[in-house]
Structure 1
Amino acid sequence: MLYRTALLFIIFSSLDHAESARILVSIFSPSFSHNVVFRPIWKELAKRGHDITLLTTDPMRDPKLKNIREIDLSGSYEIMEKYKASELLTKGKNEGKNTVKLIVDYLNALDHTADWQLEQPEVKQLIQNTSEYFDLVIVEVMNPIQMAFAERFKVPFIGITPVDAPYRIHAALGNYMHPSVYPDYFLPLIPPLSLLQRIVSCGVNWANWFLQYYTRYPAEDLIVRKHFGEGLRDLSEIEKDMSLLFIYVNPVFYQMRPVGTNTIVIGGGMHVNKPKPLPKELREFIESNENGAIYFSLGTNVKSSLMTDNMKSVIISSLGNLPYNVLWKFEDDSIQSLPKNVKIVKWAPQQDVLGHPNIKLFITQCGLMSIDEAIYNHVPMVGMPFMGDQGYNAVILEKKRLGKRVDRMNLTEEDFTKSIIEVIKNPIYKKNVVEMDMLTKDVQTTGLEKAVWWTEYCIRTNGAKHLKSPVIDTPTYQFYYLDVIGICLTVLASAIAIGLIAIRFLLGLLCRRDSKKKTE
């Protein structure tokens, strides 16, 4: 009996092992929000028996987690700050710096960070260990450098992004792209676009393609070959082998484009948890004003402490005149003589703060994770966008009347105060946020369930190659019917030309006949 029990245990253990997979995950971005949002996926996959190796700038460091090995890349933040990334994002435009130069400088900081990450001993060991293997790679797509891991281990890979994917990624999956209907997510443009906006969208799109193919890819390929060797294909080619794309955006909030079966939208508050009790000091401050409280945070990448003195002055004056307490996430103690109703903290448990019933408003940079958390907790917003998709998100926020947006470049005390009071006093904003939360939660399958199912599907089908769109292999001139249009125009032009020649010939005959009759 004991022998049979042991045998059954070995058999079932072997079956579990066979059904599990080794998954390498790389979340490149030095951004807490880009990492925390996907943690439920890694935990659930590990819970189901898969072995996860996670490259992350924000390790969970939870000894209770099983089947997850974390490679700590938190030093990436220091590299970004070495190249003044936070200053570029927070006050570069306010100081009059050229937008293109700001973008290029920030992208260069990201390249240096990627280079540093691949230099780390544990990462180098992954790359160089010939006995190391994985069944699947999951990689953040904002920077394509880590896609080289899929080429290194010769396995399928899934792309994942906490915002809408950039054009180059939609192109790699064969998804619908049209700058007049779906402008890139970093442009604050919502269709229908005016003629000028369509010109801007197309121009930016073309400029971005040029920058990507003639500047970005070559620079990124150099970094890849430095660490992975000269034998790897170009990143632009590896990118096209992406099996699936997970997009973490709320489809109720965001304007979605038609996508193929291999693009899965998993957003809508997957990372949001029920609020926990606040620390005593924060709770007492939030509850000490009978009118309510406001939470003010610009996220992790934009630093309130790095704003220009003029912008700080406008904000402090505005907040000091409000009849509400204001909890402001501020990274240092540099502000002196704060108004009595304003309290600064270097860090706050944002989800728990937003979940407190006394919070009346959230002043946010309009990152998608922050918006999700506000919607979940029924808190209307005032958006103050700084970077990336934040401007686009702020436009949607205002269009759907979930809040108001303010222009940080032309911020005045009057406009800022007016926006805050309007959102708190007008019940339509609270009503719309509540309705948005109801729609977000009314789904057949949660984002987490979809992400896990499709991940395992990709493993089972060895890359889900049958879902690959034929659009990927269709040249641009064919996709936009340029060859068909060219032939049709040629035929039409030829027919018109032949017709004109025939008419001219007939008119010539008639003229000669009339001339001959007159001569006779």
Structure 2
Amino acid sequence: MDSRTLLALALLGLVCSSEGAKILGILPTAGKSHYIIGAAYMKTLAEAGHEVTVISPFPLKNPPKNYRDIELTGMLEAAASQDEDMFKYKGSGFGSFAIMLMALYGMFPEVVCKFVLQHPNVVELLKSDEKFDLVIAETFLTESLYGFAQHFDAPLITYSTFGNSMWTNDLVGTPAPPSHVAHFLLSFADQMSFWERLGNVVATVVDRLAFELYYLPVQKQMYKEGFPNAKISFEEQMQNVSLVFLNQHFSVSSPRPYAPNMIEVGGIQVEKPKALPEDLQKYLDEAEHGVIYFCMGSNLKSKFFPEEKRNAFLKVFSTLKERVLWKFEDETLPNQPGNVKIQAWMPQNDILAHPKVKLFITHGGLLGTSESLTHGKPMVGIPIFGDQMMNVEKGVRAGYSYLLDYDDITEESVSKAINTVLGNPSYTKTAQLISQRFRDRPLTAQQTAVYWVDYVIRHGGAPHLRSPAMDLSLLQYKLLDVYVVLKYGRGGGIVLNFKEHLGCKEVFRIEPSEETVDKTECLACEMRFDTEKVLLLVVYNPPGRQRWAQILATARPFLCVMNGDLFMTPKKGP
């Protein structure tokens, strides 16, 4: 028995020895892919002995005894009333970014959060005397629903169905330097050119402004309406998230800074392969030259492909020796070749695990990507919106994916994409290499999630994991006040503002002499912290050690000295 197995058994023993808790899961979105991730958490926790209650539009057909559904009846119909053709959200570059930002911030609050908070089954739960030890909620434009935590006086854990974003980072104080952490709606990787970094900064600022000025006020209003007797404010609830789970892993995404209460559990929905239905098993087993699996996910539907794009795929498929399994939502497919089999639903993970599958044609969603990489299958990616562009671009740069632009789908481009991946063994070899890294963990994603859920419960919400950054304003966090003082503190107007801001009693300057800039120049002020007077001395172009001694000797006992010479412009002259 190796060391990793022993560690897993020890941690599982710790998990199983803890008393089962009552956990409320908020899985509010009508997208099946989002539900699959949330359900993976809740089913795993139920198997670990916890008593779970799940609010979602997808009740389990055969739930275990300790798993209770509160069904959001009517949500699927309400979501279906929106435009089903998600291909219309396809854009390019910043056009795609703008389209998605408007769609997300404009659509979701009404369709999801208000529907949940006003649903009779949810209202009944809120009026009940039930108690919960923990609330788990999806972080996908659902901030008003975090109020369930304060209502039941329970710690809050949130989870992201994709990777980290501003929505998750803000909850726990995780930094996201735009120099190497790309916005999730852009296709940039971690190593960006100057123009990509510039675009990333612009996108981040635009998103921040839209989020703070337009979107959050809507969520705040729904929080007030849904929880009129809330114990804490909307802002306070946003600041009281115990832990965030991310559906990503550094082997596929990129190393980046995380707060200690932001945990990667990429691939948590990936289960051990199950037996395939008899017809699919036979179809795959008898494929002499292998199988191509084609699926655009649960939100994008292949039946909405424009006719010319659909026919481009069919013409190419008809020339291949491989068989094709296509998740296609209509019962019939005009001009369907003999080597193509269609079904409205297919067990994706079980299919990708089959050794005869040679290629996965996908939209680039993180569910399909993680399942494909788990089983070491290369991909042709057709990203449409959201994080799909980034996921596919990462695969292209790593060498296990080929990008097929939706706007450029023709018979020639489809043929080139498929034959490039099938004809170049490096794609499969790279996918298998990444698969080894993705699966190489001390605990499975499910075991990791159970451990951290129990950790939060055992430690009363684990407040010791909370980052001090959560208590800083944007001005303080970015050190903007410090930079302003150090760079512009010599100007009279700025000095007066600085004096007023800090409550200074005296402000004076020591100017350099005209013959040299090597003399001391500083801004000094006396202020009061609590009951003590402190002399703050900002020194520019500091002289030698002897002059420092003279300055310090004339200062008061309580002295703060900040060396500001690094913020000055270089001296002129030879």
Deviations 1:76-120 (A, max 9, x none): 222122121x32x2234379x975355434544322232222232
Distance apart, 1:367 and its partner CA: 1.2
Q: Please tell me whether the aligned partners of residues 317 and 324 of structure 2 are also in contact (alpha carbons under 8 angstroms).
A: yes
Deviations 1:408-457 (A, max 9, x none): 12222212211111111211111111122222222122222221111111
SS in 2 for 1:393: helix
Note the 1:76-475 alignment, pairs <5 A.
Answer: 76-84=75-83, 86-87=84-85, 89-93=86-90, 99=96, 100-101=98-99, 103-111=101-109, 112-129=111-128, 131-142=129-140, 143-229=142-228, 231=230, 235-267=234-266, 269-333=267-331, 335-475=333-473
Change (3 A) 1:335 1:49: closer
SS in 2 for 1:190: coil
User: Which has the larger helix fraction?
Assistant: 1
Distance apart, 1:398 and its partner CA: 0.9
Following the alignment from structure 2 to structure 1, what is the Cα–Cα distance between the partners of residues 465 and 276? Answer: 47
SS in 2 for 1:344: strand
Query: Paired residue for 1:50?
Result: 50
Following the alignment from structure 2 to structure 1, what is the Cα–Cα distance between the partners of residues 513 and 188? Answer: 47
Following the alignment from structure 2 to structure 1, what is the Cα–Cα distance between the partners of residues 44 and 218? Answer: 36
Higher deviation after alignment, 254-263 or 70-79: 70-79
Query: Paired residue for 1:24?
Result: 24
Give the counterpart letter for 1:394 in structure 2.
V
Following the alignment from structure 1 to structure 2, what is the Cα–Cα distance between the partners of residues 417 and 18? Answer: 55
Following the alignment from structure 2 to structure 1, what is the Cα–Cα distance between the partners of residues 90 and 432? Answer: 35
Distance apart, 1:476 and its partner CA: 2.3
Higher deviation after alignment, 116-125 or 340-349: 116-125
Following the alignment from structure 2 to structure 1, what is the Cα–Cα distance between the partners of residues 348 and 367? Answer: 11
Deviations 1:443-478 (A, max 9, x none): 122222221111111112111111110111122233
Change (3 A) 1:226 1:449: same
Give the counterpart letter for 1:93 in structure 2.
K
Normalising by structure 1, we get a TM-score of 0.86
Following the alignment from structure 2 to structure 1, what is the Cα–Cα distance between the partners of residues 440 and 45? Answer: 24
Compare relative contact order (CA 8 Å, sep 6+) and give the higher one, 1 or 2: 1
Q: Please tell me whether the aligned partners of residues 297 and 365 of structure 1 are also in contact (alpha carbons under 8 angstroms).
A: yes
SS in 2 for 1:382: strand
Higher deviation after alignment, 24-33 or 486-495: 486-495
Q: Please tell me whether the aligned partners of residues 27 and 139 of structure 1 are also in contact (alpha carbons under 8 angstroms).
A: yes
Q: Please tell me whether the aligned partners of residues 225 and 232 of structure 1 are also in contact (alpha carbons under 8 angstroms).
A: no
Following the alignment from structure 1 to structure 2, what is the Cα–Cα distance between the partners of residues 488 and 479? Answer: 16
Unaligned runs of 5+ in 2: 1-15, 493-507, 518-574
Distance apart, 1:329 and its partner CA: 0.5
Deviations 1:459-498 (A, max 9, x none): 1211111111011112223322322222222357799994
Change (3 A) 1:256 1:421: same
Distance apart, 1:233 and its partner CA: 5.1
Distance apart, 1:383 and its partner CA: 0.8
Following the alignment from structure 1 to structure 2, what is the Cα–Cα distance between the partners of residues 452 and 101? Answer: 37
Following the alignment from structure 1 to structure 2, what is the Cα–Cα distance between the partners of residues 98 and 334? Answer: 34
Following the alignment from structure 2 to structure 1, what is the Cα–Cα distance between the partners of residues 91 and 99? Answer: 14
Change (3 A) 1:141 1:487: same
Distance apart, 1:294 and its partner CA: 0.5
Give the counterpart letter for 1:373 in structure 2.
E
Query: Paired residue for 2:568?
Result: none
Normalising by structure 2, we get a TM-score of 0.78
Unaligned runs of 5+ in 1: 1-15, 505-520
Deviations 1:171-202 (A, max 9, x none): 22111122222122121101322222122111
SS in 1 for 2:239: helix
Following the alignment from structure 2 to structure 1, what is the Cα–Cα distance between the partners of residues 121 and 236? Answer: 27
Q: Please tell me whether the aligned partners of residues 101 and 207 of structure 2 are also in contact (alpha carbons under 8 angstroms).
A: no
SS in 2 for 1:241: coil
Following the alignment from structure 1 to structure 2, what is the Cα–Cα distance between the partners of residues 160 and 323? Answer: 42
Q: Please tell me whether the aligned partners of residues 160 and 168 of structure 2 are also in contact (alpha carbons under 8 angstroms).
A: no
Change (3 A) 1:210 1:411: same
Following the alignment from structure 2 to structure 1, what is the Cα–Cα distance between the partners of residues 235 and 48? Answer: 33
Following the alignment from structure 2 to structure 1, what is the Cα–Cα distance between the partners of residues 364 and 99? Answer: 23
Following the alignment from structure 1 to structure 2, what is the Cα–Cα distance between the partners of residues 221 and 490? Answer: 37
Q: Please tell me whether the aligned partners of residues 80 and 110 of structure 1 are also in contact (alpha carbons under 8 angstroms).
A: no
Following the alignment from structure 2 to structure 1, what is the Cα–Cα distance between the partners of residues 73 and 374? Answer: 29
Given candidates 475, 478, 487, the residue that maps to 2:476 is 478
Distance apart, 1:151 and its partner CA: 1.9
Following the alignment from structure 1 to structure 2, what is the Cα–Cα distance between the partners of residues 18 and 445? Answer: 18
Query: Paired residue for 1:12?
Result: none
Aligned residues: 484
